[in-house]
Amino acid sequence: MEALYAATTGILTACGVYLILRGRTFPIVVGLTMLSYAANLFLFSMGGLRTAYTTIIGANMPYADPLPQALVLTAIVIGFAMTAFVVILAMRARGDLGSDHADGQRSDEPREEKQ
Amino acid sequence: MTLLLIVLLPLLGTLVPLIGIRAGRTYCAWLTALLPAVALGITLYLAPLVFSGNVPQFFLPWIPQLDLHLALRLDGLSLLFVLLILGIGLLIILYARYYLSEQDSMGRFYAYLMLFMTSMLGIVTSNNLLLLWFFWELTSLSSFLLIGFWSHQSDARKGARMALTVTGAGGLSLLAGFLLLGQIVGTMDLSVVLQSGDQVRSSPYYLYALVLILLGAFTKSAQFPFQFWLPKAMAAPTPVSAYLHSATMVKAGVFLLARMFPVLAGTDLWFYFVALTGLVTLLYGAYFALLKQDLKGVLAFSTISHLGLITMLFGLNSPMAAVAGVFHIINHATFKASLFMAAGIVDHECGTRDIRKLNGLWRYMPYTTALATIAAASMAGVPLLNGFLSKEMFLSESLDAHMLGGLSWLIPALATLGSVLSAAYSLRFIHDVFFNGEPKNLPKKPHEPPRYMRLPIEILILLCIVVGLFPSSTVSGLLNAAVTAVVPAGYEPEIDLAIWHGFNLPLLMSAIALGGGILVYALRHYIYNFHRQFRSQDPNVIFEASTQAIVRVAQQAIDRFENGSLQRYMFWLLLTALGFSAYGLIESPRLSGNLPAQSIDWAVAVGAGMLCLSGLATVFFHRRRLISLIMLSVVGMLVSLAFARFSAPDLALTQLAVEVVTMILLMLALFFLPQKTPKESSGRRIMRDVLLAGAFGGVVASLNYAVLTRPLQSISSFFLENSVPGGGGHNVVNVILVDFRGFDTLGEITVLGIAGLAIFKLLNRLKLFMPSSDMEGRPWSPERFPAILASMAQSLLPLALLVSVFIFLRGHNLPGGGFIAGLVAAATLILLYMARGVEWAQQRLDFQFQPIAVAGVLIATLTGLGSWVFGYPFLTSAFGHFHIPLIGDVELATALLFDLGVYLTVVGATLMILANLGKVTTPHRPSKEKR
């Protein structure tokens, strides 16, 4: 199960990275969201993969590691705030520059990308 | 402690003129002089102690980790310099009172001057290499302010910048040299370093330390090839030139040579670097001093020349030459400061410094003429004046230099040539300016300066004569004390400061110098004509051009990486991150740990498969943005299920709620953005990105696997044990959030609030592209608010809000809490907005969301601060059991109040983001007018 979990995290990361490397803002926002899912899964698994454990005291079950859970919980909310900020920034950039390219070109013409 | 006062009083003195200027200009000058005068008194009080061979010290630990301490010492060399700096400084304060015009800000000038004085005093009294360097840099900075004092003049600005660049760069080199020296010796303590000369000279790093430290000294003392900044610094007011460029700042470099003499001198390398640099500078400066038409320019180049002379003396590796060097430092400071001040008087009273216009001033200012003549005679090395004594010592020492083997005769020959030129430009300075016919076209009619403007010169000239006539009874004590600090113990030479040594070779050389000087001056027009065939190059132009060239090269280097494309930066960033994390994996011996693998059950297998597929689908459809977004929402849902599966109900609930609001947000945003992504990446680019993404995913997966298969060592047992007795809650995750790590959470909700406010601001007056149809060209549905959704949303509202409160209240003991409850409430309200439209909702929710978010942060902060009232650290929680009628036994904690803050912040921020985004198409859009 560990291998499967790790592979899933890896695939989500790869998807996120690929989208982040795109030129337009919207795929980048989608990529960031994807990457934050992957990061959250990764961080969460630092406490180990436990099925049928609990973090409630006195629930008569073995205890799972609560610390990564607390960290990931805040990470999810912060991730939302950042996604929101970036996507509104993208809207603003499009409004002000007339383009949704990440490099902020003023036209929608595809540009010769510098190597 | 008294030692500290010598440095501390002038530092306090920087404030005096700024306040004192209100009392008038004369009072301001007197008040400014007060503290340095006290410092001078303290120095004189300590002087007998130093003469008797003691070294007063002061030590106060500062940053022990860096071996940087406030450590001061007052040995003979320091004493000599402190006297020079304070004595001449006081004269300059007096002189500047009359030199500065009404338009100049006198308070500012004196403040800079005192800052400079402090830093110079710090250099000469430091007993710690790093502290010395600290003050060294402070002189560069304060001299920048002084040179650029007339900041409205372009010359002043350029000169100041050049001086700062050159001496500042030298300062960095000096720092490197000192660090190396500190490494060799093992401490930054100067008194230890001074004892470790043999250890340093035999170290393999000696060459590097030597070169780096010499670079620092040579840039500061304007040695060839760094001499060019000094003439350009003449754009400063003359009191500054007199102070910085005669007595102090340029002397910091030769001070360093003297200071480091016991540590670094004595080797062939030292001779070649120091003596030859000094010799070249001596000749270069003297030659150009003869050619300059600007009065201060002549003095600037003669200063360069004399600094070269002093440097050369220290380079000769003989104790007696070092004595001569120290002696010439004193003499040069006295006659050059008075010459600068005389030049300032001429400039002040005639309105020009052009030698071609200035002639025959003796008729108009006979007294100044006499003073300047004596000073110039001292500079030329005329007998019975102090300059003669040190110059003769210099000539006699040059005869003893044998380091050039068969060519050693060159050194005395060139030294004599330098003296000839020195006599010639001294003669020119006097004859051309004060005699030689009548002045031409002067802007002002010249006359004698105010009485007190001359006083500083008179004092210095008196010193020149007294020292020149009675050297052994005046300066020999000071010189002896200084020499013990410079020359290694046991090598102190017998100092014989007689005027008459009988007929010998040095006397003959002196005579040649004076006679040759007169001859060269008489034949000067041949030299001018000869020099005219060279195109004169302004060092400013060369300096600016080379600066720009360096900037251009740097810019090109930067542009290779930084071409303005964020896409490119992202690539480099990810590649670097990949490199580092891959390196960590390569270092570990094997991937899997020794934990037994858990078996896969079908639910997990299906979930993981769907997760991977939907992730890949998001990428595959990324050009069709809506489909991609729907795929992304599937990923989010499955992640939420994964959390639920792996015993994290709080996370699952949070993820679920966040997923809902994120999707609504992205849908809304997509409405205003293009619906499709144009195809613009080349095949190569896609290949590159796929490879990078794949490698990244591989590394992350390997890391994850490596961690999962290794035994877990967690600090969580502490939280599990203390959650109930310490935090009063059974849900450990929630207790960690609101109690154990409450400070983190406070920071986090603050960020959330700030993000909401920033978005609100970004939406302000946003120019929008409103599509009138969808991407297939179909118009939007006329059925904007479907009836079923509307009625459902409305009837769900109270229930959902109730659920939200319930989740909030139980959060401390069961899955839930402020974050989740807040998100649920926000999602409910947004549903209402979507179902009934902004217009409808706005009428019923007629309030701003910003105050709610701010209030949330405030409540959380105040809860934290509340614990201070009871004498506990910030964010200590208290709890107890209460019986509430109808509800029953309830455990209440202050953490609940904190969680309320979290709740309100989440609701406020989320609605601020989403509701405001929804409103941008309506008259309720955020704009400045509405607020």
Distances (CA, A) of A5 to A36, A39, A54, B599, B710: 16, 13, 20, 12, 15
* Contact A32/B at CB under 8 A: no
Amino acid B812: pLDDT: 81
The secondary structure of B555-572 as a DSSP string is: HHHHHHH-SS-HHHHHHH
Q: Is the pLDDT of residue A106 over 60?
A: no
3-class DSSP assignment, residue B226: coil
List, in order, residues 6 or more apart from B218 with CB less than 8 Å away: B170, B226, B253, B277, B311
Provide, as residue numbers in chain B, all residues whose Cβ is less than 8 Å from the Cβ of A105: none
Q: Do A79 and B658 touch (CB under 8 A)?
A: yes
Q: Is B759 on the interface with A (CB under 8 A)?
A: yes
CA of A61, closest CA in chain B: separation in Å?
11
Which of B610, B110, B311 shows the shortest CA–CA distance to A4?
B610
Question: What's the total number of domains in chain A?
Answer: 1
Q: Which domain holds residue A81?
A: 2-97
A108 domain residue, yes or no: no
In angstroms, what separates the C-alpha of A24 from chain B's closest C-alpha? Answer: 7
Mutate: best of A30, A40, A107, partner B, most B CBs <10 A: A30
Gyration radius of chain B's alpha carbons: 40
* Confidence (pLDDT) at B887: 61
- Interface contact flag, B712 A47, Cβ < 8 Å: yes
What is the SS3 assignment for B692? helix
Question: Would you call B700 and A7 a contact, using CB atoms and an 8 Å cutoff?
Answer: no
Q: How far A106 CA lies from chain B's nearest CA (Å)?
A: 13
CB pairs under 8 A between A and B: 314
The closest CB to that of A88, out of B628, B661, B763, belongs to B763
- Pairwise CB contact (< 8 Å): A70 & B737: yes
B640 contact A CB<8A:
no
- Chain B partners within 8 Å of A70 (Cβ): 733, 736-737, 741
Residue A87 resides in a domain:
yes
Give the pLDDT confidence score for residue B668 in this predicted structure.
Answer: 87
Residue of B606, B679, B702, B708 to mutate when probing chain A, most A C-beta within 10 A: B708
Q: 3-state SS of B35-64?
A: HHHHHHHHHHHHHHHHHCCCCCEEEEEEEH
Residues of chain B with pLDDT under 50: 928-931
Q: Per the CB < 8 Å rule, is B707 touching A45? A: yes
Give a yes or no: residue A102 inside a domain. Answer: no
Residue A110 has pLDDT above 50, yes or no: no
Confidence of residue A108 (pLDDT cuts 50, 70, 90): very low
A39 part of a folded domain: yes
- Residue A38, in any domain of the structure: yes
Predicted pLDDT of residue B643 = 93
Q: What pLDDT is recorded for position B891?
A: 65
B909 touches chain A (CB under 8 A): yes
CB-based contact, A110 to chain B, within 8 Å: yes
pLDDT at B420: 92
In this complex, is the C-beta atom of B928 within 8 Å of any C-beta atom belonging to chain A? no
Nearest to B30 by CA among B97, B102, B77, B86: B97
Residue A88 lies in a domain: yes
Q: Which residue has the higher pLDDT, B588 or A13?
A: A13
Quick one: tokens of B745?
A: 């959470």
Give the gap in angstroms from C-alpha A77 to the nearest C-alpha of chain B. 7
Pick B574's closest partner by Cβ from A17, A37, A48.
A17
Please tell me if residue A4 touches chain B, with a CB cutoff of 8 Å: yes
Q: Please list, residue by residue across B572-605, b when 16 or more beta carbons sit within 10 angstroms of its beta carbon and e when fewer do.
A: eebeeebeeebeeeeeeeeeeeeeeebeeeeebe
Partners of B815 on chain A (C-beta within 8 Å) are: 56
Residue ranges of B 578-637 with Cβ closer than 8 A to chain A:
595, 597-601, 604-605, 608, 611-612, 615-616, 618-619, 622, 625, 628-629, 632, 635-636
DSSP string computed for B472-538:
HHHTHHHHHHHHHHHSPTT--------S---S-HHHHHHHHHHHHHHHHHHTHHHHHHHHHTSPP--
Residue A32 lies in a domain: yes
Locate tokens 């996604």: which residue?
A83
CB proximity A43 to B under 8 Å: no
Nearest chain B residue (CA) to A75: B748
In this structure, are residues B823 and B910 in contact, taking their beta carbons and an 8 Å threshold? Answer: yes
Q: What is the pTM of this model?
A: 0.66
Query: How far apart are the C-alpha atoms of B633 and B622, rounded to whole Å?
Result: 13
Q: Note whether residue A110 is domain-resident.
A: no
A91: nearest CB among B672, B732, B758: B672
Q: Closest to A77 (Cβ–Cβ): which among B629, B704, B819?
A: B819
Integer CA distances (angstroms), B494 to A63, B21, B369, B403, B479, in order: 87, 50, 38, 23, 11
Contact A23 B616 (CB under 8 A): no
Residue A105: per-residue pLDDT: 66
